[in-house]
Amino acid sequence: MWGGHSCPPPSGAEALLPVTDVTVVERKVVYLSRGSVETIYKGMNAFGVGKRLGIIVLARFRVLAVIWIFCLFGLAQQPTSAWQEQVRKCAAAQDWTAAMSIVDREIARAPRDMDIRTWRARVLLWSGRVAEAEHEYHEILTAVPNDPDNWMALANVYSRESRTQDALQALNRAVELDPKRADLHAARGRALRVADNRSQAKLEFRRALELDPTSKEAALGLLSLRSEPRHEMRVGVNTDLFSFGGANDLEGLSFTSHWTPRWKTSVSENFYQRAGTDAETSVASVTGKLPRMGALTVGGAAAHDNKVIPKNEAFFDYDQGWRLPAGKLLHGLEIIYGQHWYWYTTARILTINEMTLFYLPHDWTWSVGLTGARSHFSGTGAEWRPSGLTRVGFPISAWDERRLQGNVFFAVGTENFAQVDQIGKFASQTYGGGLRFQLTERHDVTAFAAYQKRTQDRTQTSFGFTYGFRF
């Protein structure tokens, strides 16, 4: 009640209230406030303001919701890209144990995520565990059989294992799944090129360029299938200087032809000047190659010997090589075994040779060779003598098409046969080196020099060069 009246006081009357009951004052202020808000809201609705305000608030809420969703997506993606970057860094450092532990940790978090399983297969392949990588890709393709990327990755594994036909079948499946991808056609072109199906390889590279005219991979593939040189002619000279006699000279001319990827022939003519005596020899050989079985070379020689060089020769070599998994210190291994028979006028010589060639990183090579020589002179018994050689090859420089390579070698052994001025037993140590300068894809020059120390305080200095032209 207010002074005997039942209606509430005017809106400003509360300012005149004596502050004796705080509760009463608060209740009245709240009551009056509620009335004011309701009045304002009704007024806003009357003019349409409330509706427009609701629309504005709803729109802002939707924008904030979208931003919130994108933030959550970004936060979800950040760990994924982080662990992938960690794997890449470990792979660059060749720390395969750490890389595999990261991938296995992610697989434990999401065992059904095939993308993570794909990363595991990649790490296995990069680290040289090719068989395990193949098994991993088979399991991935069992779960996700229609992913062309995984089929192409499996083809890469088969290529590393030299299983060309299996690689082609995997790439055929990848192309079936997505025939409009240029990279798949380029990959199949590479496999066909390895399989020596050059015509089909050209078609695949051209198809890739049709789908993607900017594909460097396809353009380089077509370029690699240009008509390659099949023949090589090489001329050379060689001089030996002795501390105990006159010089020996040699001039040679050779012609090598690659008729097919599996067959090669070689003929050469050599002219000797030994202790004032001239001699000449003709050499011919044929080489056959079989996939996964290496190469076999068989040949012989006949000479106008004048008793200073072998009258006849016969020889064979067997060459087998293996490509080793990448990421290792040793990239490849090649073993060459050969036997060579020499028939002199007064002696018969048999040499058994074995050479092992190791392919190292950055185009370095290291070879180790052993030779056993069996000599039989008229009126004497047969006798075996050993010798050995080691050589290190290395790149020196490269610019455009030009390449400069070098090598150093050391040989040691004993022998009791050679030219007329060397017959007799002696031991020797030989030090030398050589250079090969590739002028263009079709021209190169080689040179070498060697110094030999023999028993009886004798020495030999040798040097020479060759020039090769391919067409």
- Do 201 and 258 lie in a common domain? no
The CATH code of the domain that includes 197 is 1.25.40.10
Over residues 305-351, the pLDDT tens digits come to: 999 999 999 999 999 999 887 557 888 999 999 999 999 988 899 99
The last residue of a domain, from among 204, 226, 248: 226
**For position 59, what pLDDT does the model report?**
54
Over residues 418-471, the pLDDT tens digits come to: 433 344 467 899 999 999 999 988 999 999 999 999 988 999 999 999 999 999
**For position 55, what pLDDT does the model report?**
56
- Do 262 and 409 lie in a common domain? yes
If you average pLDDT over each of 63-67, 68-72, 336-340, which comes out highest?
Answer: 336-340
- Do 252 and 321 lie in a common domain? yes
Reported as half-sphere exposure (CB side, CA atoms, 13 A), residue 351 has a value of: 24
**For position 426, what pLDDT does the model report?**
76
Strand partners, 316: 298, 339
Residue 444 lies in a domain: yes
The length of the chain, given as a count of residues: 471
pLDDT at 294 over 50: yes
Residue 225 confidence class, pLDDT cut points 50, 70, 90: confident
Over residues 346-389, the pLDDT tens digits come to: 889 999 999 999 999 889 999 999 999 998 887 777 889 899 99
**For position 19, what pLDDT does the model report?**
37
- Do 256 and 279 lie in a common domain? yes
List Cβ<8 Å contacts ≥24 apart for 90-95.
91/123, 91/126, 94/127, 94/327
- Do 363 and 461 lie in a common domain? yes
Residue 449 lies in a domain: yes
Residue 49 confidence class, pLDDT cut points 50, 70, 90: very low
Strand partners, 464: 238, 448
The last residue of a domain, from among 226, 248, 275: 226
pLDDT at 261 over 70: yes
Strand partners, 283: 268, 301
- Do 172 and 187 lie in a common domain? yes
- d(CA 471, CA 233) in angstroms, rounded, equals 8
- d(CA 34, CA 50) in angstroms, rounded, equals 17
If you average pLDDT over each of 142-146, 215-219, 315-319, 410-414, which comes out highest?
Answer: 315-319
The CATH code of the domain that includes 240 is 2.40.160.60
**For position 56, what pLDDT does the model report?**
55
Better pLDDT: 63 or 455: 455
* Amino acid letter for position 302: A
> How many C-beta atoms lie closer than 10 Å to residue 30's C-beta?
10
Per the prediction, the chain carries an average pLDDT of 83
- Do 222 and 249 lie in a common domain? no
Residue 123 lies in a domain: no
Nearest to 463 by CA among 452, 471, 455: 452
- Do 182 and 197 lie in a common domain? yes
pLDDT at 244 over 70: yes
Percent of the chain exceeding pLDDT 90 equals: 61
- Do 384 and 368 lie in a common domain? yes
92-116 average pLDDT score? 91
* Coil vs helix vs strand at 263: strand
- d(CA 359, CA 126) in angstroms, rounded, equals 18
Residue 3 confidence class, pLDDT cut points 50, 70, 90: very low
**For position 269, what pLDDT does the model report?**
98
If you average pLDDT over each of 61-75, 220-234, 335-349, which comes out highest?
Answer: 335-349
- Do 217 and 241 lie in a common domain? no
- d(CA 350, CA 313) in angstroms, rounded, equals 10
Q: Which domain holds residue 203?
A: 161-226
pLDDT at 50 over 60: no
Backbone angles phi, psi at 51, to 5 degrees: -65, -45
**For position 58, what pLDDT does the model report?**
53
pLDDT at 399 over 70: yes
Question: Is the Cα torsion angle 178, 180, 184, 190 positive or negative in sign?
Answer: positive
CB-CB contact of 430 with 397 (8 Å): no
The last residue of a domain, from among 200, 226, 252: 226
Work out how many domains the chain is built from and give that number. 2
Over residues 150-186, the pLDDT tens digits come to: 999 999 999 988 899 999 999 999 999 999 999 999 9
What is the DSSP-derived secondary structure letter of residue 212? -
Residue 334 lies in a domain: yes
- Do 212 and 237 lie in a common domain? no
* Coil vs helix vs strand at 177: helix
pTM: 0.61
Residue 139 lies in a domain: no
- d(CA 116, CA 105) in angstroms, rounded, equals 10
